[in-house]
Amino acid sequence: MSDKPWIASYPPGMRWDLDIKPTAVQQILDDTVARFGDRPAIDFMGKRLTYKELGALTDRSAKGLQALGVGPGVHVGIFLPNSPHTIIAFFSILKAGGTVVNYSPLDAAKVLEHKIEDSETDFLFTLDLAALYPQMAGMLGHTRLKKLIVGNVAEMTAAPDAVAAKMKEAKETVDVPWDDRHVKFSALLDNDGAYTRHPVTDPIDTIAVLQYTGGTTGLPKGAMLTHANLSAACAQYVESTRYETPLLEGGKERLLGVLPPFHIYALVVNMLFGVALGAEIVQHMRFDPKAALDDIANKKITMFCGVPTMFTALISHPDTPKYDLRSLKFCGSGGAPLPVEVGQRYTAITGTEVSEGWGMTETSPTGTFSPMSKSKPGSCGIPLANITIKLLSLEDPTRYVPQGEKGEMCIQGPNVMKGYWKNPEATAKDTTFDGLFRTGDVAYMDEEGYVFIVDRTKDMLLCSGYNVYPRVLEEAIYQHPSVHEVAVIGIPDTYRGQSPKAFITLKPGAEPFTLAQLQAFLKDRLGKHEMVQALDIRAELPKTAVGKLSKKDLVDEEARKRATAA
């Protein structure tokens, strides 16, 4: 039996032993400017930029950053939505020689303070949006943050005066005190672009991005993603699409960017992958199903990557049947398992299969992909080029389990992080005896190398001595015709130890049902030991910053209820 059975499942022509050369991340943009300089790069609120124009803006931003003191060893934050500012800031920080630190607008003040101090962020890009600027303005003076570089949405649109007036009237923007701690984004760009180049002599060791993980408990940890990690991840995505039908063609694709750009998935699949392909990136500040449908149909979008909740929203929108979505050539889902039912309905509507993949912050975030010519329902796919996946015994962490058995998924490849920033203990804890990264996902691999994630190790329930995996229950519940979204967690049960509780939202117009009715529906779909024992039907379920269903919030909520009852 092969130790890499997935290779036989690759599309014809695709190679596992792809020669991936460690590269500086900014070189991805420079190469595309050289190849597709006159092709459109960004479409944002009526304004389009070519790759040549985008390259020039990043050069000018890089020179402006160097005038502020940014260079090797200096960390610069990005606190931005989907707008051209994000792409310009990202590549210009790297061109200036600095390191990018991504910040989430949904972080609490305590977490923002922790990230600023822990990451050693000195400068930070943001906009004068009411939802952004005040959070970071509050960090000036009592953290190490020296200056904010502040732009505005209007300056990157086709009608800046009209957009600025409309946003001000809606109180979406705030006034900024232009003192010595604030730099206008436009002023940063006011130069000839002749920045001092700092060649990345060791891409394998040089950190490009500090990407903080959400963390299940305590404060977030910074994953050190090197230039080699991110450039390898981009090369792996490109290789996985080169042999599919229909082919993605350089300089000819349009990509809809709606994922929050501070998330690693968006950074790589939308920004780096999109730029590497020379695609036109159509940016939306936030995900709105109707706006997404409009652009897919009217702008003939060919590429769309999202998380499962986005695909659910698109297929459930009442206007979806009115749109022709057949321009789509490639759709990718990540961030969480895609329910089989959702994937099948999306394919029926668009004619395009959703390529489900798995990855995480620590893997940049590549890991697996599903060949569109040979996907398997319920599987997150097979390992990408240069990636090896093994399954660690859940009982004995000194050995791996045979193919077909469940174990903790462990990964090795050029995309796997250098380690956790200033946290060697956490790095060691998540490393196997032979150097692979421990993901915390419970999975098994079939005879063709396809990975089936059963659940997170922390989510596995022990019910009357049986292992119960919430993912299995969720897949069964999604088959109910009234169910829109579902998340299953374990709640304490004095008799069974734990029992599964389902949190559900209903499709528009669907009638609610009782626990007994749900159990009757699931009777032939689940074993007795797996049966749902509690039900909560809600108007909406909590989600993370990237749009994934947040089980952590549900677990915390249940714990508070028990504490109050006691």
Q: What is the pLDDT along the chain (566 residues), one digit of tens a residue?
A: 578 999 999 999 999 999 999 999 999 999 999 999 999 999 999 999 999 999 999 999 999 999 999 999 999 999 999 999 999 999 999 999 999 999 988 787 888 999 999 999 999 999 999 999 999 999 999 999 999 999 999 999 999 999 999 999 999 999 999 999 999 999 999 999 999 999 999 999 999 999 998 544 457 899 999 999 999 999 999 999 988 878 899 999 999 999 989 989 999 999 999 999 999 999 999 999 999 999 999 999 999 999 888 999 999 999 999 999 999 999 999 877 788 888 899 999 999 989 989 999 999 999 999 998 788 888 999 999 999 999 999 999 999 999 999 999 999 999 999 999 999 999 999 999 999 999 998 999 999 999 998 877 667 787 876 778 788 899 999 999 999 999 999 998 876 778 999 999 999 999 999 999 999 999 888 888 889 999 999 999 999 888 889 998 999 999 999 999 87
Name the nearest CA neighbour of 224 among 362, 102, 107. Answer: 362
Element holding 153 (H helix, E strand): none
Question: Is the CATH number of domain 460-565 3.30.300.30?
Answer: yes
In the chain, where does the domain assigned CATH 3.40.50.980 lie? 25-199
* Cβ(455)–Cβ(469) below 8 Å: yes
Q: Which fold, 1-24+228-458?
A: Rossmann fold (3.40.50)
Helix/strand/coil for 101: strand
Q: Which fold, 25-199?
A: Rossmann fold (3.40.50)
User: Between vectors from CA 465 to CA 464 and to CA 466, what angle results, nearest 5°?
Assistant: 95
Helix/strand/coil for 505: strand
Whole-angstrom distance, CA of residue 93 vs CA of residue 429: 31
CA separation, residue 222 to residues 106, 361, 401 (Å): 17, 9, 30
* Cβ(313)–Cβ(319) below 8 Å: no
Cβ burial of 92 (10 Å; 0-12, 13-18, 19+) is: buried
CA separation, residue 251 to residues 28, 34, 58, 257, 539 (Å): 14, 12, 20, 16, 43
Whole-angstrom distance, CA of residue 118 vs CA of residue 546: 23
DSSP code of 203?
Answer: T
The region that residue 472 occupies, defined by phi over 0 for left and psi between -120 and 50 for alpha, beta otherwise, is: alpha
In the chain, where does the domain assigned CATH 3.30.300.30 lie? 460-565
Name the nearest CA neighbour of 551 among 542, 540, 539, 563. Answer: 542
In the chain, where does the domain assigned CATH 3.40.50.12780 lie? 1-24+228-458
Residues with Cβ within 8 Å of 419's Cβ and at least 6 positions away in sequence, in order, are 224, 427
Whole-angstrom distance, CA of residue 260 vs CA of residue 275: 17
Q: Which residue has the tokens 């070519």?
A: 50
Whole-angstrom distance, CA of residue 38 vs CA of residue 386: 33
Two structure tokens written together for 483: 């169910």
